Structure 1
Amino acid sequence: MKVQRKHVLAATVALAASAAVAVGTGMGFAETTPAGQSACAGSVTFSAEGGAPAATSDRFPVGTRLRVTNLDNGKVATVTVTGPSGSCVLLNAAAMDLVREPGKNVIRRNLVERLDGGAAATGAARPGVPAGEVRPGNAQPGGARASVCSGAITFSAEGGAPAATSGQFPVGTRLRVTNLDNGKAATVTVTGPSGSCVLLNAAAMDLIREPGKNLVRRNTVELLR
């Protein structure tokens, strides 16, 4: 009988342990599934575009639906791509307001998910520039140089001397950014990664912007050797 009681006691303990594990899992104590891989790398920022929440992109075609999550506060914006830009995803003002931290113009920790079933674009080439290749000397009519980035240019709230971040060029790359509407130019060095071909900091943007504008639509970006 003593042997039988030990077996019964051991079985009871094992059953209790199994039940505890099951309850813990049901209550959310179990390890969570890792977050999905983001369809865009680097920070997410915004333009001064108005209207309902939307985005522009150099990776996804018009009509693509994206979900952008700010991992610092859990806030989410679901947006539709309405046109091209120089970023993997560039939110408009209304979309940024849905996910931003107060006073911040850039979302460093983010998750961008494509909702329409298409594959995430990685390293997609811009028009006329094959992936991984830049052509700073391509001549255009009138002697102008071809831009190594396409789409509008915007900025982050980063301080310091004029500089930029980029999803296309490595740290240390020197770029000259010209606003074709006023002829003003800024020469900047890439200091880190972002989700844009070129994302200026506040000081660099101040060198070339039109008063009151947070976006430079007509621009050229030249790679300086």
Structure 2
Amino acid sequence: MGYLRSVGKHRKRATIGIASVLGVAGIATAIFTSTTPSSEAAESCQGLDTALGNNLKFIADQKANPDQLSGARIANRQAVVDLIQQRRKAAGCTGAVAAPIPLPQPEQPPVAEPEQPAAEPDPAEEPIAAQQVCKGSTVTLSGEAGAPAVTSNQFPVGTRLKVTNLDNDKSTTVAVSGPSGSCALLNNAAFEQVREPGKFLIRRARIERVG
């Protein structure tokens, strides 16, 4: 009888010991599970960070190797960057994202600049008839120097376009000097006649074909 009681006590202590170990393991598992970040949230931040880095790289490349459309491209991509930053903030993304340093482009042989159009005729002689075209199009700055001019992807060289900034009612009438990637891309001199201080894009514009 004494031997049976002793064995029973040992079994009872062993059972309590195993239960205690299992209880501690369960608590550790619960703590690890509750403190492990959601893979879905981490993936969301990773995707936003990648998109942000790609857009910052595009802007850096445009600044390092600009052309006549770089100003418009940079303005559009900056709007995308601002939106991504808002989404990163809402998602709680805290990682630092910076644009990589763009590699220098090999030097290209000099290209002869196109001849500038002749001086514009007297505005008093401008025909009254005008037809609105390219409704809803924005007007951007090409960065080209020279006399006031415009380039277009819809009208041949020599076509006269009247561009009005509806935010300040300023307008200019210029001749198309060559092709571009938009309906109306003003050079520096023409853009200065209708721009608002500090802005490089006219979102509310009226474009008319004159004559």
Q: Which has the higher helix share?
A: 2
Structure of larger gyration radius: 2
TM-score range relative to shorter protein: 0.3 to 0.5
The TM-score, its normalising length taken from structure 1, stands at 0.39
